[in-house]
Each structure stands twice: as structure tokens, then as C-alpha cells.
Chain A
Amino acid sequence: MGLRNDQGIVLRGFPFGEADRVVVLLSPNHGKVRAVAKGVRRTKSRFGGRLEPFTHVDLVLYEGRNLDTITQVSVIEAHAGLRGDLDRVLAAGTMVEVIDAVTQENESSLRAFLLLQRGLSALDDGPRHPDMVAAFLLKAADVVGIAPAFEHCAGCGRTADLTRFSFAAGGVLCERDRTPGAVALRPGLTGYLAGLARSDLANLPDHDAGFSGEAMGVTRRFIEYHLDRRLKSLTVDG
């Protein structure tokens, strides 16, 4: 036991005792970290503002038997812009929920951390791309090793006739290999999804309004199928 330094992005927090808060952060090297911030629910606390979701912070932690206690916090990146725009704050909520679902405690999580950091920065900095969340979900799938195949059939590897998407097979299927549960895709959608999965979040392909709803629908169902849970944040509609 003693003091240690760490950094992380705040995923969420919940009230603890009279005036404390337990904060759940994602650290690049230690996975999810739970720590107590004492007295932060009092207006006088100088910690509170720094430990809100989406904030990337540098921490000094006092190691305890069950929970660590946060003794110092400084802000690396506040992402303050996210909180001034409804669509952005809702999108950031989904990013955090997915990353929360795919990471564990005491387990290195550098790729998930970097993805979340890039996702929040891209949302905060540039113009908002309507399919940013879909692209983020596809990249999160890649981080946990379930990236869907878009460019070749998940059954036979063929690149032609890709007309269906199978949640169970984890990718597109050709006409020959189609399974009863596979959904039909509009021509061109696989190419659009592949583009979203491939591009940097700060530099996504041009938004195509014709594909937007379907791209998000397929991606969301895919992620929910593989995580075996609903994404609560996506039920909150702006």
C-alpha cells in the first residue's frame, strides 16, 4: 500500500456515502480503475469538476484494501466542448458505454484507451460526422477481436455477390452462403461500412445520408449481438 500515479479517462461515477463519489476510469495500462473521490459532491470541492465523465485526468491514488482513494487530480484533456452540444454528448455517452462494456479491471487496455481518446477528441474537435458512432462501434469491435468482415464472404471468402449480413457469422455473406438469419443489405452499404471501419475517426469518408440509418442499425445490432446486451445509451434519443 502507498501512493501511485496513474492516468485515465472518466467513464462514470456514482454517489458513495454522504458526500463521496466512486469514479470508474479507464487507464491505458491497468484497465478499469475504481477509486473514491472524497467530498466531491460538496460544492466547495475542487475535485468535482475534474472527475466528470469524458475527462482525461492524471491521478495520484492512495492504495486501499478495497478501493483506492484519489488524492490529486489534474486535467490532461477536458473535452469541454462535448458538453455544450446535445448530439455530441449523446454520442460520447455511447462511446463510453461500449468501452466500459469491453474492458475489465486489472487488465491492460491500451488499444481501448487510445480508441476512446481518439473518439472523444474527434467528437470534440471537428464538425460532427453523423456516422461517427457507427464508425466507433466498428473500431471497438476490432479492438475486442470481433471486427466484422465487409469485403469478403464470411463463409467462402468470395468478394462478389455480397448481399447479406449475418450477426452470428460476424460479417457479410454471399448469395450462395446466405443463412436464414442474415439480413439483406442495400447495394453499396457494405462498401460504406468498410470505409467507416477503415478510416481514422478524425477523417471519416463523406457522410452518405442514404446509408446512415442502415449503417447504424446493422452496426448496433452486430455489437449488441456479440456483447449480448443492449446499449442503454442508444435508447436515449435527442
Chain B
Amino acid sequence: MYEAPVQRLIDELARLPGIGQKSAQRLAFHILHIEAEDANRLAGAIVAMREQVRLCRRCFNVTDSEECTICRDLRRDSSEVCVVERAQDIVVVERTQEFRGRYHVLGGSISPIEGIGPDQLRMRELVVRVDDEKIVEVIVATNPTVEGDTTALYLARLLKPLGVKVTRLASGLPVGGDLDYADEITLGRALAGRREL
């Protein structure tokens, strides 16, 4: 045990994902030795983020106003919606510069084994949007895991009756990789999702 103020910070840091006791100690002592001004800036950034950031009322992306910058951008195609599990995933899809529509953040994925059902996710909000925003295509970009697959199948069952096209990101081979390094499951899916040249 360290002096109470030091231990308190170590305990808080150790609660962060991917940080164990050892890393928490290292970070705490690092913060102890930096300039007071730098430590204040770090603390201020945490407080400011929590105070200023909220969820976009349309897509549930993080934003500092009513709607996020993507939803406010009039050049974006409002007839296409890309459904992601977490807000962080939006940044990943944006980096491709291939998608010009809007997003919808579910807040997780269906997990039969963990008992996480559609009611705990923002499914109903999506149904309302499909109706209100004249959405033509819903692109499901959930993870290629059992949970992500289950969520995608559920969305297809939920949305198709509304007359909207539901598609899923293709699973396949990493670009620049070697065919003989791919596992059979990834390769099997790549084969199933092949396209004509």
C-alpha cells in the first residue's frame, strides 16, 4: 500500500480496461513526477469530456451537440445507414472513405450466452429511423463473431418486412496477406461471399 492519495489514483487507474496493478502504479508515479500544469490538463480533459460529450439523438454517436457532425452534414446520403456495435467503430468505417451515408450505434451485440437481447440494444430506435428517414439500405457492420452474426440475423428478420434492403459487410481475406495463412473459417466465408469478376 502507498500513501492514501497515491493508492487512490492507482486503484482508479487499475479499473480501466487493459490496465493491471503494475501499469496503474507506473502511470500513477509518472503523473506524480510530471509538471503540475500537465497533470491539471489531463484531469481537466477527463472532466471536460464527460461534461461536454453526449450521444447524438439520431445515431447515438458521441458528439458535443444535439446531433453529431456526420448527421449534420447535408452532403451525406440519408438513404443509407451503417449499423455498428460501438461508437468507436464509426471512426474505423470512416477511415475507408468508402461510405457516404449515416450511422446507427447499437450499443453492443446480441449475446444468447450472456443473455443480452435486442431489448438492451438500440433496435427500436433503428426501426423508427428506417421509417422516418426513408432509409433504403441498412448495412450491418457488426463484428464477425457469433454475437455479431446473431445481431445481423436479428436485424435482417426485423427490418426486411419494412421493405428495406439489409446487407452485411463481407468477411474475407486480409489485403496484403498470404492465402495459406488464412484460417479455414475465414477462407470458407470468403468463398461463400465470392463475387464475379
Residues of chain A touching chain B, judged by Cβ–Cβ distance below 8 Å, are 11-12, 15, 17-18, 43-44, 46-50, 52-55, 75, 78, 80, 83-86, 89-90, 92-94, 96-97, 100, 232-233, 235-238
CB of B183 within 8 A of CB of A232, answer no
Task: Give the A-B pair count, Cβ closer than 8 A.
Answer: 85
- A sample of 19 more A-B contacts (CB under 8 A), given A50-B184, A78-B184, A80-B185, is A43-B174, A44-B174, A46-B183, A48-B183, A49-B184, A52-B146, A83-B146, A84-B153, A86-B153, A86-B157, A96-B113, A97-B112, A100-B113, A232-B113, A235-B115, A236-B115, A236-B116, A236-B117, A238-B157
Complex Cα–Cα for A131 and B145 (A): 26
Contacts of B188 in A (CB 8 A): 78, 80
CB of B174 within 8 A of CB of A17, answer no
Contacts of B145 in A (CB 8 A): 52
Interface membership of chain B positions 143-161, coded 1 if the CB is closer than 8 angstroms to chain A and 0 otherwise: 0111001100110010000
Instruction: Report the minimum CB–CB distance from B166 to chain A (whole Å).
Output: 13
Which residue of B is nearest A231, CB measured?
Answer: B115
Q: A43-B174, A53-B146 are in contact. Are A85 and B153 (CB under 8 A)?
A: yes
A-B contact pairs, 22 of them (CB 8 A): A12-B113, A49-B183, A49-B186, A52-B146, A54-B146, A80-B189, A83-B150, A84-B149, A84-B153, A85-B153, A86-B154, A89-B149, A89-B150, A90-B112, A90-B150, A93-B111, A94-B112, A233-B113, A236-B111, A236-B115, A236-B118, A238-B157
Instruction: Report the minimum CB–CB distance from B188 to chain A (whole Å).
Output: 6
Contacts of B111 in A (CB 8 A): 93, 236
Complex Cα–Cα for A208 and B75 (A): 55
Complex Cα–Cα for A6 and B117 (A): 33
Contacts of A44 in B (CB 8 A): 174, 177
Contacts of A53 in B (CB 8 A): 113, 146
CB of B183 within 8 A of CB of A47, answer yes
B106 at the binding interface (Cβ < 8 Å): no
CB of B185 within 8 A of CB of A233, answer no
Complex Cα–Cα for A1 and B155 (A): 47
Residues of chain B touching chain A, judged by Cβ–Cβ distance below 8 Å, are 17-18, 110-118, 144-146, 149-150, 153-154, 157, 174, 177, 181-186, 188-189
CB of B115 within 8 A of CB of A89, answer no
Instruction: Report the minimum CB–CB distance from B159 to chain A (whole Å).
Output: 13
Which residue of B is nearest A73, CB measured?
Answer: B183
Complex Cα–Cα for A43 and B143 (A): 11
Complex Cα–Cα for A96 and B114 (A): 11
CB of A93 within 8 A of CB of B112, answer yes
